[in-house]
Every structure is written in structure tokens, then in C-alpha cells.
Amino acid sequence: MAGKPKLHYTKGRGKMESIRWLLAAAGVEFEEQFIEKKEDLEKLRSDGVLLFQQVPMVEIDGMRMVQTRAILSYIAAKYNLYGKDLEERAWIDMYVEGTTDLMGMIMYLPFQPADTKEKNLALIIERATTRYFPVYEKALKDHGQDYLVGNKLSWADVHLLEAILMVEECKADVLSAFPQLQAFKGRISNIPTIKKFLQPGSQRKPPTDEKFVAFVRTIFNI
């Protein structure tokens, strides 16, 4: 029996958080090796285990995988969360790219200068409510099914729930005009593996605060 996947990253959300979400949704237990100081990252680089000198890095099935998208695609395919055919996979990819764009805006918000944060926060809410959420709301309404693609839980659903919760941290009532997404949030949050991940004490990481921003700047020289 293969060992648990091992995740190499800082003790925060960043680009690893979606990987944690997807593994948790698939019911896969994983270990984490945290980068706690600059020397930890330098050791990974000098040991030659980071293909492009960057994390996230996940040890899984005898591989040391890097690049977030590649890792997520592998996990989704391995655990049957990537559709039944090429067409479903294409839809999952499109939906995931949308939520990736939205979550990327939120992920970088804490690292932006204080004088631009309010403007960028408003832009996140505007994009979420006019560009991204309407797409998912319409998809769920049009096909009348519980999930975005193929009426079966997929990577797209997991990613969308993660995005919804991140936007709600920015504006609690952001789903007020999206009844389909409100119902979707309730359904997906109650899937046993996901419900477990949402409980206190899980490997889900808290929102990025100023202390963590300062830590990340030290580790990655940004």
C-alpha cells in the first residue's frame, strides 16, 4: 500500500490550499512538511527535488510533483473527480479556470499595498458577482442538477465551494442574489469528506493575515 501523499509548503493557504481541498474531498489522508524558514526551502532546492525551484510540491505515487495545476489534474483524475469523457473534462477545466482566476485575486490581496486594498477588494466583489458567480448560477439553474458537470461530484464543484467561501470571507452576503449557489453551497458542504475538512482542527488553513504575509515575504524574498 502506498504511503500518504506528503505536501511541502508553508503553513498557510497559498497555492497549496486547493490541493488540500481536493485531497480532503476525495477522502485521502495526507501529511504536511512545512517550510518554516528560508533554509527549508533552500534545502529542497539544493536537493534537486523541485523541478522549477518552486513549491507547492507534493510527493505522491513515487513522484515529486510540482506546478499547482498539474498536481490538481493528477489528483482529480486519480480519484475520479475529472469527468467521464473529454467533453466533461473540458467543462471541468473551464469552470476550474474561472474559480482559479477569482481565487487568485483574493490570494494576492493581503500582499498588496494598504492604499490599494480597498479598491481591489471592491474589484473582487464586482468580478465575483458580475463575471464569475452568474456563470455557475446559470449552469446549475439550466441543467437542474446537483453538480456542475455530469451530475456527479467533480473537481469543479470542490473548487467552486472553496471560491465561494473565500469570497464570503470578503463579503458575507455575497450570495444573496444567487439562490442556486446558496443551495449548492449547502449541498457540497454537507458531503461527508468535505464536511469533515470544514470542521475546526482539520488541515484547512485560516485566511492570510499580516503576520503570515510578513513570514512569506521572508521565506520567498517578495
pLDDT at 194 over 50: yes
- C-alpha cell of residue 57: 510540491
Domains of the chain: 6-79+198-220 (3.40.30.10), 86-190 (1.20.1050.10)
Residues 36 and 11 sit within 8 Å (Cβ to Cβ)? yes
Q: What is the pLDDT of residue 152?
A: 96
- Model confidence at 182, pLDDT cuts 50, 70, 90, reads very high
* Among the listed residues 21, 37, 73, 33, the one whose alpha carbon sits nearest the alpha carbon of residue 204: 21
Query: What interhelical angle do 68-78 and 17-25 show, nearest 10?
Result: 0
> pLDDT of 49-93, one tens digit each?
999 999 999 999 999 999 999 999 999 999 999 999 999 999 999
Q: What is the pLDDT of residue 3?
A: 86
Mean pLDDT, range 123-128, rounded to an integer: 96
Mean pLDDT, range 144-156, rounded to an integer: 95
pTM for this predicted structure = 0.95
Mean pLDDT, range 132-150, rounded to an integer: 96
- Model confidence at 2, pLDDT cuts 50, 70, 90, reads low
Residue pointed to by grid coordinates 481565487: 103
Render the burial of 26-51: b for 16+ CB within 10 Å, e for the rest: beeebebeebeeeeebeebeeeeebe
What does the mean pLDDT of the chain come to? 95
